[in-house]
Amino acid sequence: ERDGGMTPMLTDFGIARLADSPGLTRTHEFVGTPAYVAPESAEGRPQTSAVDIYGAGILLYELVTGRPPFAGGT
């Protein structure tokens, strides 16, 4: 904060990969920030553009409200 104002910052973009590229991770290895990962990605189902929209929605919600949309310890 400077002069009572807020300074926005972006961090942790996770690790992106091509859907058809097996080279980044080992089989069944999870990659991503759990709070921003779409359920289908966490479950290992095929990824579509919907997972990007989900992550952007989570980020937008947090930017507007100042808190994540889902609370949980795990």
Each residue's pLDDT tens digit, 28-74:
566 677 888 888 888 888 888 888 889 889 989 999 999 888 877 65
pTM for this one? 0.56
Q: What pLDDT does 61 receive?
A: 93
Residue 34 and residue 26: Cα distance in Å, rounded?
18
pLDDT at 25 over 60: no
Contact between 29 and 21 (Cβ < 8 Å) = no
Tokens describing residue 10 = 């972006």
DSSP letter string over 5-72?
A: B-------------TT-TTSS-TT---S-GGGS-HHHHTTPPP-THHHHHHHHHHHHHHHHSS-SS--
